[in-house]
Amino acid sequence: MTLSGQVALVTGSSRGIGRAVAAALAARGARVVVNSRTDPAEGEAVVQEIIRAGGDAAYVRADVAVEDQVETLFDRAETLFGPVGILVNNAGVTESMPFAETTADYWQRSMNVNFLSTVLCSRRAAAAMAGRGGTIINTSSIRGFDANGREGIMGYSAAKAALNNFTRTLAKELAPQVRVNAVAPGFVATSYMDRVSEEQKRQWLDVIPLRRFITAEEIAGVFVFLAETPFLTGTIINADAGFTLGRG
């Protein structure tokens, strides 16, 4: 399945995994809409990077946890390139806080950014894809599975668990025209790792069977695989170097 000429919208793509996914889709021929809520300069830098590599891209700033901004984002994408055929719901945030200190605002914020944004964008995309097909790929996390949720980021973990259920349920509802899948990354060497102590990194590596972190470019390859594979839907790929296998 070729991505040439298809329109791809990648939310939260000014840095990290989203940035790598946007570049990878563009390299496969997709016309890419780069998005972020903040840091428009970084978003524009991603666009220029794609254009220099021979691709086609544009940046649209929007908060995808806000319904009217989602509408504006899709309207702008359609004006720039045409109907969105590939939606990557990548926007998310990790906020660390002990459970006893959490507030209703903390939980609402975690669910809005990490889950509601996916719901709003998927609903808008599904309407646009009706009658012509398309694919939706969600960015989940190892923290959304079973007992892999992590203390201190309970809001994020709970939102990703909801996202996993949503992915599989939406895949049922939108089949056969629209495919819905997700990627659940493990420990990825993005700028987030710059804030992590060397001791913590060693502890993580001790429980990862492959004893290595994953690059954003490697994760992006999994998104491309899902975009290009026409028989996959309702699939959540654990791209985690074996972390969810457990220590035995």
176-233: pLDDT as tens digits: 999 999 999 998 888 777 777 888 888 888 888 999 999 999 999 999 999 999 999 9
Q: What is the CATH number of the domain that holds 100?
A: 3.40.50.720
Q: Work out the number of other CB atoms within 10 angstroms of the CB of residue 21.
A: 29
The secondary element (H helix, E strand) that includes residue 121 is helix 117-129
In a domain, residue 205? The reply is yes
Q: pLDDT for 57-82, tens place per residue?
A: 999 999 999 999 999 999 999 999 99
Q: How many CB atoms lie within 10 A of CB 156?
A: 24
| Residue 233, pLDDT score | 98
10 Å CB burial of residue 229 (0-12, 13-18, 19+) is middle
Whether cis (ω within 30° of 0) applies to the bond prior to 40 is: no
With 60 as the cut, is the pLDDT of residue 141 above it? Answer: yes
Q: How far apart are CA 125 and CA 144, in angstroms?
A: 24
Q: Which two tokens stand for residue 231?
A: 């028989």
Residue 245 domain flag: no
Active-site entry in 59, 106, 156, 192: 156
Q: Is residue 246 part of a domain?
A: no
7, two tokens: 């329109």
247 pLDDT more than 60 = no
Amino acid code (one letter) for 221: G
pLDDT digits (tens, 9 = 90+) for 35-59: 999 999 999 999 999 999 999 999 9
Q: What pLDDT, on a 0 to 100 scale, did the predictor assign at position 1?
A: 62
Residue 191 lies in a domain: yes
Looking at residue 234, its pLDDT comes to 98
Residue 247 within a domain: no
- Distance (Å, rounded) from C-alpha 191 to C-alpha 95? 15
Percent of residues, the chain, with pLDDT higher than 70: 97
The total of structural domains in the chain comes to 1
Is 243 inside any structural domain? no
At 248 the pLDDT is 46
Q: Across residues 89-106, what is the average pLDDT?
A: 91
Whether 1 is in a domain gets the answer: no
248 assigned to some structural domain: no
Phi, psi of 78 (to 5 degrees): -70, -35
- Residue 111 neighbours by CB under 8 Å, 6+ apart: 155, 158, 159, 162
Give the integer Cα–Cα distance in Å for 200 and 189.
13
Q: Could you give the CA distance from residue 208 to residue 105 in angstroms, rounded to a whole number?
A: 34
Average pLDDT over residues 150-176: 92
Whether 4 and 29 have beta carbons less than 8 Å apart is answered as yes
Supply the angle between the helices 154-174 and 104-111 in degrees, to the nearest 10: 40
- Domain range for 101 is 7-237
Asked if 156 is an active-site residue, the reply is: yes
